[in-house]
Amino acid sequence: MMKNKEKSSKGSFKAFLKSRKARHGSMAAVLVIGAVALVVVLNIVVGLLVERFPNLKMDLTSNSAYALSDDTSDFMSHLDKDVTMYILSTENSFVENGEYFVQAKNLLEKMEAASDGKFTVSYVDTTSNPSFTNKYKNIDWTSKDTMAVMECGDRYQGVKTDDCFTYDEQYLSAGYYQVNGTTIEQATVTSAMKVTTENQVVVDFITGNQETDFTSLKSLISNNAYDVREVSLLTGDLDDEAQFAIIYAPKVDLDAASVEKIEKWLDNDGKYGRNLIYIPAPENADTPNAESLIEEWGLKLTDGFVYETSEDHLLSNSDMFVFITDFTDYYTDNLKNKNIPVMVYQTRGIEITDENNAHALLNASDHAGVFPLDGDESFKPEDGITGKQIAVAAEGIKSSSDAESRVIIFGSDRMFSSEFITMNSINNAEFFMSVLNTIADKSDESVTITGKKLDNTELGVTDINTTGAMNVIFIGVIPVAILIAGIIVWLRRRHM
């Protein structure tokens, strides 16, 4: 009896294998296995390709958190020297510090790819190789903040963690370091510029007169591979090798001795070749010594602040002292986009008293006016309008047969605040660096790269064509394809 049952079951199984259901089921199983295998193979291949070519990684985040800025890509693609960035950690330990370090790693890989082999990132485990740092004697290793070393030939520089990441101020005030953004692009480009630039131009910031905080402007200049220093004329002199000196919004007037030192430095024994940038402080309009200095160069500050009434120049109808300016013919050749304006706020005007040796660099419109320093509520905007453009940045020049010295005035210190310098919608940082780069005969364009945050990394599509295409794909093509596939399966199964 048992044998008959076994024969019966075996016969039934053989009959099932020969049936149409088995054939179709087998085909379905083969298709499923094939599809899964294809997906696995494609995933492996794509992973290997992305590892080999980091630029194949797609960044669909709304704020391009994993994409290089144009400035970074441009800089890396034009590197003509071999540069190595040694990160003082194992790769695994680096990314284990959190999502922003993963982001930084991805950005560094894309920089490598953009450089066509000129820029290399290498991870060094200093725990197992503690002697690695011995050859970099000019780096302060007592500080634990050095994250990496940038090296080009025999030139090198330490890269600090604080330069590569930003921190939440609320946590920072409590003594905790909570990373909330990465500035790895700017830090990397800045360090690479410095180790590849052999003769850096020296810029002296003159201190000792209660200057407004010039950290943002100093960082901008330093980030563009200038050697930035600070000098107090009360106790010392300007550097002989300095090509630029900057007086940034002094709340106290220069004394006569300081003015004399500056004049002597600018003259350079008749050889010239030096440049003073003067930026007045709105809080201090009483600066007779400083103004006597600039008046010798065909320039004079207005006795009041410039306001704008032209709607084409105003950013807000509620504040006439915040407005965009017009370029003249000077220092615009190195700008990447001349259509982006420079913005000023609470700026002094500049009168050109010697048109043979001085000229405007930035102008307000011919609908602008000057609000007197002693003006009150009875002053009407139309009272100060002259019908002529008012300079808000200008320069005076003295020259010898071989060189020129300049005094350049920017009427507003607010235009170089951290807020204005980091705004991509205005050209304040780029124009300032264009002035320095042109005078210093540096062909490099200014590099100002904003940081990246991961607060808003959802799928970001703002382009109309892309939005339309994605709508067609996700709302039309995919649902219709699924519907057709379902109908085909249903019809096939119906006739089985």
Report which DSSP code applies to 233. Answer: T
What gap in Å lies between CA 216 and CA 279, rounded to an integer?
A: 14
C-alpha 156/C-alpha 137 separation (Å) is 10
Domain check: are 150 and 206 in the same one? Answer: no
Based on the fold, state whether residues 36 and 94 are members of the same structural domain.
no
Query: Do 381 and 278 share a structural domain?
Result: yes
> Which residue in 411, 363, 361 sits closest to 390, CA to CA?
363
Inter-helix orientation angle 184-196/215-223, to 10°: 60
Q: What global pTM score does this model have?
A: 0.71
* Across 7-22, average pLDDT: 56
CB neighbours (10 Å) of residue 495? 6
Domain termination site, one of 190, 224, 240: 190
Asked if residue 116 belongs to a domain, the reply is yes
Q: Is there a domain that residue 454 lies in?
A: no
- Tell me if 452 is assigned to some domain: no
Kindly report which listed range (155-169, 228-242, 268-282) carries the lowest average pLDDT score. 155-169
Q: Is residue 446 part of a domain?
A: no
Answer yes or no: do 40 and 76 share one domain. no
| SS3 category, 323 | strand
Q: What is the CA radius of gyration of the chain?
A: 32
Name, in order, each residue with C-beta under 8 angstroms of 259's C-beta and a sequence gap of 6 or more: 289, 290, 292, 293
Cross-strand pairs, 358: 396
| Same domain, yes or no: 296 and 416 | yes
Whether 375 is in a domain gets the answer yes
pLDDT band at 36; cut points 50, 70, 90: low
Containing structural domain, residue 19: 1-52
Give the helix ranges, DSSP H, for 277-324: 288-295
- What's the CATH number where 85 sits? 3.40.30.10
Strand partners, 307: 369
Task: Examine the domain organization and report whether 248 and 395 are in the same domain.
Answer: yes
Given pLDDT bands bounded at 50, 70 and 90, which one contains residue 60? very low
Closest CA to 434 of 357, 336, 334, 352: 334
**Cα–Cα distance between 51 and 38 in angstroms, integer?**
20
Q: Coil, strand or helix: which one is 306?
A: strand
* Model pLDDT for residues 19-33, shown as the tens digit of each residue: 655 555 555 555 556
Phi and psi based region of residue 119 (left: phi greater than 0; alpha: psi -120 to 50; beta: remaining) = beta
- Provide φ and ψ at 168, rounded to 5°: -70, 120
Tokens representing 174 are: 């409590």
What the block records as the tokens of 396 is 């005076």
Distance CA 341, CA 220 (A): 18
Rounded mean pLDDT of 390-403? 94
Question: Cα dist. 319→202, 344, 363 in Å?
Answer: 38, 12, 18
DSSP 183: -
> Do residue 176 and residue 207 come from a single domain?
no
> Higher-confidence residue: 399 or 32?
399
13, pLDDT greater than 90: no
Euclidean distance between CA atoms 67 and 131, whole angstroms: 35
The answer to whether residue 6 scores a pLDDT higher than 70 is: no
Q: Which of 290, 394, 414, 278 is nearest to 344 (CA)?
A: 414
> Do both 1 and 137 map to the same domain?
no
Contact 353, 340 (CB under 8 A): no
- Lowest mean per-residue pLDDT among 167-176, 263-272, 277-286, 440-449: 440-449
Q: How far apart are CA 188 and CA 209, in angstroms?
A: 34
Asked if residue 61 is part of any domain, the answer here is no
Instruction: Judge whether 468 lies within some domain.
Output: yes
Tokens of 292: 């006597």
Least confident of 24-28, 49-53, 304-308: 49-53
Identify whether residues 232 and 317 lie together within a single domain.
Answer: yes
Q: What is the pLDDT of residue 94?
A: 94
Query: Using one digit for the tens of pLDDT, what is the confidence trace for 435-456?
Result: 999 999 886 555 666 555 665 4
> Are 244 and 201 a contacting pair, CB within 8 Å?
yes
**Burial of 299 (C-beta count, 10 Å sphere; 0-12/13-18/19+):** buried
Q: Which of 158, 190, 222 is the last residue of a domain?
A: 190
146 to 56, 150, 157, 191: CA distances (angstroms): 31, 11, 10, 13
Q: What is the pLDDT of residue 464?
A: 40
Domains: count for the chain: 4
Is 451 a member of any domain?
A: no
Burial class (CB in 10 A: 0-12, 13-18, 19+), 228: buried
